[in-house]
Amino acid sequence: ITPDLDAFSNFSLTLDHDTQLENSVAALVPGQSGCIVITQGSTGGTMSYGTEWLFEAQTAPVLSTTTDYVDNLVYYVAAADKIHAVLLKDFG
């Protein structure tokens, strides 16, 4: 999955397989922010992240695994090559 942060700030997706959240296709503009709403589908999935995605303690979060649970990946573009993000989990 490759978000176009130049076109949109907020996204929604349902995971039915493992995937990678790639770096944005657009040039990052510091100050941009948004949310990616991730719903676990019936077969579920995990997510890995591109190099621009940075997390607290340099540890990528693990998504909820229960079908239909929702996680919110909230992000802030800190620099042209850095997206700070935090995962809010388990909205059942």
Tokens linked to 61: 């979060």
pLDDT band (50, 70, 90) for residue 51: very high
Distance CA 81, CA 70 (A): 27
> Model's pTM, two decimal places?
0.93
pLDDT digits (tens, 9 = 90+) for 15-43: 999 999 999 988 899 999 999 999 999 99
* 65-92 CB burial, b ≥16 within 10 A, e <16: eeeebbbebebebbeeeebbbebeeeee
